[in-house]
Every structure is written in C-alpha cells, then in structure tokens.
C-alpha cells in the first residue's frame, strides 16, 4: 500500500469517520453519477475516497477553476475543464474517447452546480449511452458520513424513465448543505 493511499485512508476513515457501502462491481469503463453536490467539501471527500481506494477517476469541473496554479493541479488530479457558456459537443468527444481507450472512468455531478438545481444536467447520461457504458450511482451522505454505491444502471435510451430511477436513488442522501439539494419532480 502506497504512502498516499495509507494517508488518505487514515484521514477519511479514521480521523474524519467516513464509511462506505460499495456493492457494485466496477468494470474497466464506467461513468460515476455523484450526488448530492452542495459544497466544495464534496470534492475533498471524493478525492480522499478515490485515493484511499486506488481509483484513478477523471472529473468535470467548470473552466473558471483552471487558472494558474490550480489548473495544473486539477489537471494532474484528473480534472477536465468545461466551458458551461459554450454549447460544444463535449458529450460526443468524451463518448468517442471512452470507446477508444481500454479504461475510462469519469465522475460527474448531475446538478452541475453547488447551488439548488432540481433540473439536473443529462450530459453524463448521454456520454454513457453513446459509449455504451454503465452508470454507477454514488451517493455522498454527510449526515451518515457514508459513501454509497449500491446501484448501477445501463442507459436504455428512455432518458425520462432512467432519470426517474437515478433521481429516486439519490432522494434520501443528505449533502453538506441539504437545503441546496433537490431531485426535482420524479
């Protein structure tokens, strides 16, 4: 076990008191749908978890965070900058990359913001659909101090029905700032 892994495990599990309930097999390629996303602490907890469990996962983050010196750090950690003001074919590009490479792991927060947003973004779904990847549902519950992944879905192409399943899974998780989390209409 590496020093970094030992450090992250000790900090997250022993010092901070977090636990996990991970029951889903992780294939070589997948999308992680992570919710709730109500605080910058979500990033810290997720980073500690990924390092504690030896999971190399890329993540999407608004491009405004990629200024020097943070941009270099975020890219090293697996960050992919997103220009939210420009409509680009990022889902197509990521799906194409996912199809070509032997291992692809991407974490996306469907709310797309730390603010209250009941209208979740669906880019993660379309990447998974186009690349024929499963979506692993990861909940971060600050009340219970627990990271949970007990469900995986394979996109059927029926976006509304699949999003109902996804939102229903997350409805009881409590974010760091629970008042900023909503699954909207299910």
What pLDDT score was predicted for residue 110? 92
Residues 6+ apart with CB under 8 A from 144: 19, 174
- 135-150 tens-digit pLDDT: 999 999 999 999 999 9
Q: Of 122, 105, 130, nearest to 166 (Cα)? A: 122
Domain ranges of the chain: 3-178
Query: What pLDDT does residue 113 have?
Result: 73
The mean pLDDT of 90-96, rounded to a whole number, is 86
| Dist. CA 34–CA 24, nearest whole Å | 14
Residue, of 84 and 178, whose pLDDT is higher:
178
Model pLDDT, residue 172: 96
Burial of 143: CB neighbours in 10 Å, binned 0-12, 13-18, 19+: exposed
């Amino acid at each position: 076990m590496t020093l970094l892994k030992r450090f992250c495990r000790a900090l997250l599990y022993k010092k901070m008191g977090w636990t996990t309930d991970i029951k889903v097999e992780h294939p070589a390629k997948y999308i992680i749908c992570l919710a709730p996303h109500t605080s910058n602490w979500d990033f810290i907890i997720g980073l500690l978890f990924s390092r504690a469990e030896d999971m190399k996962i890329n993540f999407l983050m608004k491009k405004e965070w990629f200024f020097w010196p943070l941009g270099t750090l975020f890219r090293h950690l697996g960050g992919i900058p997103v220009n939210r003001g420009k409509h680009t074919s990022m889902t197509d590009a990521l799906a194409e990359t996912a199809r070509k490479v032997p291992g692809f792991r991407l974490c996306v927060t469907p709310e797309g913001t730390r603010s209250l947003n009941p209208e979740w973004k669906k880019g993660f779904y379309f990447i998974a659909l186009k690349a024929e990847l499963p979506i692993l549902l990861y909940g971060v519950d600050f009340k219970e101090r627990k990271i949970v992944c007990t469900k995986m879905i394979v996109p059927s192409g029926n976006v509304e029905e699949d999003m109902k399943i996804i939102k229903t899974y997350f409805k009881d998780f409590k974010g760091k700032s629970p008042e900023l989390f909503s699954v909207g209409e299910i």
